[in-house]
Amino acid sequence: MAKLSKSAKIYLILVFAVLYAPIFYLIFYSFNSGGTMASFEGFTWEHYGAVFNDTRLLIILMNTVIIALLSSLFSTAIGVLGAIGIVFLRNRKTRNTVLSLNTILIVSPDVIIGASFLILFTLIGVKLGFASVLISHIAFSIPIVVIMVLPKLQEMSTSLIDAATDLGASKRDILTRVIIPYIKPGIFAGFFLALTYSLDDFAVTFFVTGNGFSTLSIEIYSMARAGITLTINALSALIFVVTLGLVLGYYFFNQRTGQSPGTGGAKL
Amino acid sequence: MKEITRAAIAILLIAGILLYVVNIMEKSSATSGGGTISVYNWGEYIDPELIKQFEKETNISVVYETFDSNESMMTKIEQGGTTYDVAVPSEYAIEKMKENKLLQPIDHALIPNLKNIDPYFLDLPFDPGNEYSIPYFWGTVGIAFNPTLLDGQTFESWNDLWDPSLEQEVILVDSAREVIGLGLNSLGYSLNSTDMDELREATDKLKTMGPNVKAIIGDEIVEMMRREEAAVAVIWSGQAADVMWVNEDIDFVVPEEGSNLWFDNMIIPKTADNVEGAHAFINFMLDPEVAAQNADYVGYSTPNEKAIALMDPEVTEDKRFYPPEELRERLEVYENLGLEMLGTYNELFLEFKMDMEN
């Protein structure tokens, strides 16, 4: 990479400062003994203790993670198969139609998707709660996975498949030994993007939660009226640190093994 | 392919373990035998210890959920798909829910603790005879101000907001009935006025406040007052209590002309599953000690007479949050003015806001 000019560097630093300042500001106040974010009065671990004492908050946090993991897993599986299906559609027109339908789902506002799900679920009598949230998260993640996987598939030369067929590979072998290994980076990218989408989704979840099931975004939003407590700051700080740890661990692991299973996968 | 399979299995395992842990945690916090009730309340509007106490006393486990606005709560209840046994809407929402037949009558025989409530808060126009609702917390609308930013200036009347020295200092809450209401109040008219002449006069008077108005916003007011970015604000008493808790310079006053009196009340939705449990919960919340502890935690004013006797007199004798009788007489509860009149209020409020921009 060419060396950055000084002004470019300053610009970059400024951009990152803007991106990270709110997070550090929030983390800073999680150690405030004053009880609010108005002024810093002294150092305390008390809010971190409160996080671990608040069973309800911990359950909500775990629910959020469970929903994110499961929904992105299922949506990746469905999305990958869908993308493969789309690529092998013979008719150009049909293919474009299906792709456009997929794109519409990505650009349509979450509020509308959420409201539609609410109406659908109440119509067919699904009880709102874990299942309804999981289903809708899977649903809105699928188009994203499709979009992430498609470029990899389109990039793949069809002669690879022809060669495999010539060598006597069954359809199943072609799928599991040729196509999927080739698009692996796309699959992981799709999975992680779905994970993020699910973790921070508010609008859709807002409509389809119920019966005591709640995720972090909903809970924090409801708190806003009475003022968000510093417990949330502490929780956010913990989540930030864990995420940071995961990302660092991932890079460390990648450098050691020389593999890159994730987004920045090496071009084959 | 192997790697992907392994990753998928690992994710399933992690999710499974987390699910198991959540199950254990839920079981350990829940009690068995007495069934379950689900309570739908505003965020941070109950002392969590009280839920535990209720579960221990009655063996009924509580599923607790929160909402942020009357409107979203009503939608959830109306749509079904989830069954709430107790919810806590504000008075105007109760009227609407009654009209939409979303409520079921409350059996007063199952709520012996109703006798603890100050009769002043019972049998109000939005629910005569308390057929459907039981008071939870109440408050007023008033002026919060920071004397240190105003050379010690104080407020007694709504008209003080028009003081020329307050240029660009006043924040108003972005709500039609509150703002038009203060206009009406400052002229000595009723908050529930439907007289077009009075409404017109109030709007015209509000417009003359223009130079003083710094902003018309929502919940951010609390944060702005805390940070001393604003000196005066028209807000609800509960918000004022929050502000004063963190910034001791700030004072709150219910203007002498009178103001709005609002209520949040416990109701039982039509779709409730465990009606008996819901009654038990409402009755529990009306217990003097419970109500006192809750008021202490939440910081709003309790309508529970017996609870007030148990609370710190310094709080309950604070006229700003527990207005004395002669002031109470000047407080008015919002009446349902009907859709058309509400439209007129909104229109006038919009007109006022548009005038601000010029």
CATH number (domain holding residue A117): 1.10.3720.10
Mean pLDDT lowest among A82-91, A123-132, A172-181, B26-35 = B26-35
pLDDT of residue B289: 92
**Are A231 and A54 spatial neighbours (Cβ–Cβ below 8 Å)?**
yes
pLDDT in the model for residue A264: 47
Q: What is the mean pLDDT of chain B?
A: 85
Domains contained in chain A, number: 1
Return the pLDDT at A257: 66
Q: What is the mean pLDDT of residues A215-239?
A: 79
Confidence of residue B95 (pLDDT cuts 50, 70, 90): confident
In a domain, A30, yes or no: no
Share of chain A above pLDDT 70, in %: 91
- Give mean pLDDT, residues A64-72: 92
Helices first, then strands: H and E counts in chain A: 13, 0
B127 pLDDT above the threshold of 50? yes
**CB contacts < 8 A (A, B):** 110
Domains and CATH numbers, chain B: 35-136+264-305 (3.40.190.10), 139-262+318-357 (3.40.190.10)
- In the predicted structure, residue B134 carries a pLDDT above the cut 60: yes
Instruction: Answer yes or no: is pLDDT of A77 > 90.
Output: yes
Confidence class of residue B282 from pLDDT cuts 50, 70 and 90?
very high
Statement: residue A228 has pLDDT above 70 = no
The predicted structure's pLDDT at residue A118: 87
Measured CA to CA, the distance from residue B352 to residue B209 in angstroms comes to: 10
**Residue A159 falls inside a structural domain:** yes
Beta-bridge partners for B117: B304
Domain contains A143? yes
Residue A79 lies in a domain: yes
CA distance A223 to chain B (A): 5
Give me the domain span that covers residue A175. 55-218
Kindly determine whether residue A177 and residue B1, on different chains, have CB atoms separated by under 8 Å.
yes
CB atoms under 10 Å from CB of B178, counted, come to 20
| C-beta atoms of B82 and A70 within 8 A | no
Q: What is the mean pLDDT of residues B307-314?
A: 87
- Decide if A48 is inside a domain: no
Q: How confident is the model at residue A258 (pLDDT cuts 50, 70, 90)?
A: low
What residues form DSSP beta bridges with B145?
B232, B251
pLDDT in tens, B166-177: 888 888 888 788
Give the single-character DSSP code of B272: -
Q: Which of B258, B234, B237 is closest to B333 using CA atoms?
A: B258
pLDDT of residue B280: 92
- Amino acid identity at B284: F
The reply to whether A208 falls in a domain is: yes
Give the pair of three-digit tokens for residue A176: 């599991």
Chain A residues inside the 8 Å CB shell of B64: 56, 212
Q: Is residue B320 classed as helix, strand or coil in its secondary structure?
A: coil
- Asked if the model's pLDDT at residue A127 lies above 90, the reply is no
Looking at residue A266, its pLDDT comes to 43
The one-letter amino acid at A125:
G
ipTM for this model: 0.75
Cα separation, B318 vs B241, in Å, equals 11
pTM of the predicted model, to two decimals? Answer: 0.68
Chain A closest CA to B85's CA: distance in Å?
10
**Considering the domain boundaries, does residue A183 fall inside one?**
yes
Amino acid at A59: I
Tell me if A185 is assigned to some domain. yes
Average pLDDT score over residue span B222-239: 82
Residue A174, chain B, CB below 8 Å: the answer is: no
Six-digit token pair at B124?
């109000």
Q: What is the mean pLDDT of residues B344-355?
A: 87
Average pLDDT value for residue range B2-12 = 85
Q: Give the gap in angstroms from C-alpha B242 to the nearest C-alpha of chain A.
A: 8
Task: For B36-181, list the strands marked E by DSSP.
Answer: 36-42, 61-67, 86-87, 133-145, 170-173
Rounded to whole angstroms, the Cα distance separating A265 from A44 reads 43
Strand partners, B236: B141
Q: Which residues of B are annotated binding-site positions for spermidine?
A: 44, 92
- Judged on CB neighbours under 10 Å (0-12, 13-18, 19+), A142 is buried
Q: Work out the average pLDDT over A2-27.
A: 90
> What is the rounded distance in angstroms from the CA atom of residue B169 to the CA atom of residue A166?
81
Task: Give the C-alpha separation, B272 to B265, whole Å.
Answer: 16
Q: How far apart are CA A137 and CA A203, in angstroms?
A: 11
Q: What is residue B87's predicted lDDT score, i.e. its pLDDT?
A: 93
Residues of A (87-116) whose Cβ lies below 8 Å from B: none
The predicted structure's pLDDT at residue A136: 93
What per-residue confidence (pLDDT) applies to A265?
Answer: 44
pLDDT by residue (tens digit) across A196-208?
Answer: 899 889 999 988 8
Record the tokens describing residue B173, joined without a space. 């809450």
Check pLDDT > 90 for residue A16: yes
Facing residue for A128 by CB, picked from B43, B82, B298:
B82
Q: What is the pLDDT of residue A226?
A: 56
Q: Look at residue A1 and tell me whether its pLDDT is greater than 70.
A: no
**Cβ distance of A128 and B81 shorter than 8 Å:** yes
Are A66 and B29 within 8 A, CB to CB? no
